[in-house]
Amino acid sequence: MPTKATAGLKPCATTEEPIENTGGCGLCEASADGYDAAYGGALCAECADAFGALQSDVREVRDE
């Protein structure tokens, strides 16, 4: 059964991974390695790196 945040010292900690965060990567067909909060979904390590680089590039363009 999926659970939400637990009470305590770290309220952001969960006791189980939510079902919607498991499965495949949201950008390719690889298995997801984790949940990317900035993307808002599950990503594999390669797509997480690419998405992070894209975010960094966008921030640099905005700062110019």
Q: CA dist 62 to 37, 39, 45, 56, 59, Å?
A: 21, 19, 26, 10, 5
pLDDT at 50 over 90: yes
pLDDT at 19 over 80: no
Whether the Cβ atoms of residue 28 and residue 47 lie closer than 8 Å to each other: yes
Residue keyed to tokens 């992070």:
52
Task: Report how far Cα 11 is from the mean position of its chain's Cα atoms.
Answer: 18
Please tell me the pTM assigned to this model: 0.57
Average the pLDDT over each of 16-25, 28-37, 43-52 and give the range with the smallest value: 16-25
